Structure 1
Amino acid sequence: MTDVWTGAQDLPFYGFIVRALFVYIYIFLMVKVIGQRSMANIDPLDFIFGVVIGDILGESISSGDEDLTGPFAGAAMIAFLHWLLSYAGLKFPRFRRVIEDEPFIIIEKGQILDHMLKKCSITMEQLLMELRLNDAADLKEIDYAVLEPNGQISVIKRSPFHAATAKDVGLSPQNKGYPKVIISDGRVITHNMKKIMTRQELENGLIDHGYNAVEDVFLMTVNEAGEWYVTPRLRV
Structure 2
Amino acid sequence: MDLSYFWTGWSPIWHTLLIGIVGYLTLVILLRGTGPRTMAKMTPLDFVIAVTIGSAFGRVLTAVDVSLVQALVALVLLVIVQWMLATIRSRSHLMRRLLDSPPVLLYYDGALQRKALRKHRLTEADVHTAARQSGHGSLQDLQAVILHQDGSLGVIAGNSMGDGSSILPFVEQHPGDDSQDR
What is the TM-score with the length of structure 1 in the denominator? Answer: 0.59
Matches within 5 A, 1:149-160: 149-159=149-159
Report the counterpart of residue 25 of structure 1 in structure 2.
25
Bigger shift: residues 75-84 or 101-110? 75-84
1:138 aligned to 2:138?
A: yes
CA contact (8 A) 1:9 1:64 kept: no
Aligned equivalent of 2:169: none
The answer to whether the 8 Å contact 2:105/2:145 transfers is yes
Report deviation, 1:123.
Answer: 2.7
SS in 2 for 1:46: helix
Which has the greater radius of gyration? 1
Contact 2:19 2:71 in 1 (8 A): no
Letter in 1 for 2:74: G
> In structure 1, what is the Cα distance between the partners aligned to 2:132 and 2:25?
40
- 1:70 maps to what in 2? 70
What displacement does 1:74 show?
2.2
CA RMSD in angstroms comes to 2.1
| Structure 1 residue 138 displacement after superposition | 0.8
What is the letter of the counterpart of residue 24 of structure 1?
Answer: Y
2:60 paired residue number: 60
Corresponding residue SS for 1:48: helix
> Partner of 2:16 in structure 1?
16
Aligned residues: 153
Q: Compute the displacement of 1:142 (Å).
A: 1.2
Residue 155 of structure 1 and its aligned partner are, at CA, apart by 1.0
Distance of aligned partners of 1:9 and 1:129 in 2 relative to their CA distance in 1, 3 Å threshold: farther
When normalised by structure 2's length, the TM-score is 0.75
Q: 1:62 to 1:29 in 2, by over 3 A?
A: same
Q: Alpha-carbon deviation of 1:75?
A: 2.3
The separation in 2 between residues aligned to 1:72 and 1:135, in whole angstroms, is 46
Unaligned runs of 5+ in 1: 1-7, 163-236
Shift of 1:43: 0.9
Q: C-alpha offsets along residues 3-58 of structure 1, whole Å, 9 cap, x if unaligned?
A: xxxxx974264543332111111111221232210111211111001111111111
Q: Helix, strand or coil for the counterpart of 1:41?
A: coil
Please state which structure has a larger fraction of its residues in helix: 2
**Aligned-residue offset at 1:97:** 1.7
Kindly provide the amino acid, as one letter, of the partner of residue 36 in structure 2: Q
SS of aligned partner of 1:73:
helix
SS at match of 2:11: coil
SS in 2 for 1:11: helix
What is residue 48 of structure 2 aligned with on the other side? Answer: 48
Q: Is the 8 A contact 1:11 1:65 kept in 2?
A: no
Flag structure 2 segments of 5+ consecutive residues without an equivalent.
1-7, 161-182
Equivalent position SS for 1:150 = coil
- In the TM superposition, what is the alpha-carbon distance from 1:151 to its structure 2 partner? 1.5
Q: CA deviation at 1:147?
A: 1.0
1:44 and 1:100 in contact (8 A); partners too:
yes
Pairing 1:119–2:119 present: yes
Task: Tell whether the 8 Å contact from 1:9 to 1:65 is kept in structure 2 after alignment.
Answer: no
- Identity between Structure 1 and Structure 2 (%): 20
Aligned to 1:35: 35
